[in-house]
Amino acid sequence: MRYIESNSGATCYGYDIHHDYYEGDPFKFRTQLYFKVHTVYFMHSLAHLLASMQGPLLKSLKENFMEAGGRIVVITPNQEFLDDIGIDTHKADPTVVQHFTPFTLHALFDSNGFKIESMGQFGAYSHKGRSERLFIVAK
């Protein structure tokens, strides 16, 4: 968060249901939000939510916590890449519930009323035309 703030001019806050705080600054790490934000980033975290929680969370963010015209940006591992390289159950972190394919990530946002601005793949590693990471930007 410090890096993003120092290089973008944005004010950044972390959010989690856990009471730990990020980078040693309890002011910057919230367990509740009392203000609206323009952009929400899920950086390798959407895969940690149960499928039954994902849609309601996205809708709640859009309706209650995001400014009008705000965006959600997701970066997450690409399940198709993991399948292609032969890793069926890659869960480096035991709290991972599921990874996404381009189709399932698109469907999650589309089915919850978001307009997808951009979507793609990237990363240092690729296999059979698939990259290790997916991203989506949605309003």
The C-alpha atoms of residue 117 and residue 138 are separated, in whole angstroms, by 5
In tens, the pLDDT along 47-100 reads 888 888 899 989 988 998 899 999 999 999 999 998 888 765 555 667 788 889
Kind and range of the H or E run holding 104: helix 102-110
Between 49 and 29, the more confident residue is: 49
Query: Does the pLDDT value for residue 138 go beyond 90?
Result: yes
**Interacting residues of 32 by C-beta distance below 8 A, sequence separation 6+:** none
Q: Which domains does the chain have, with CATH numbers?
A: 1-34 (no CATH), 36-138 (3.40.50.150)
How much is the pTM? Answer: 0.79
Report in angstroms the alpha-carbon separations of 101 from 8, 14, 57, 81, 128: 30, 26, 19, 9, 15
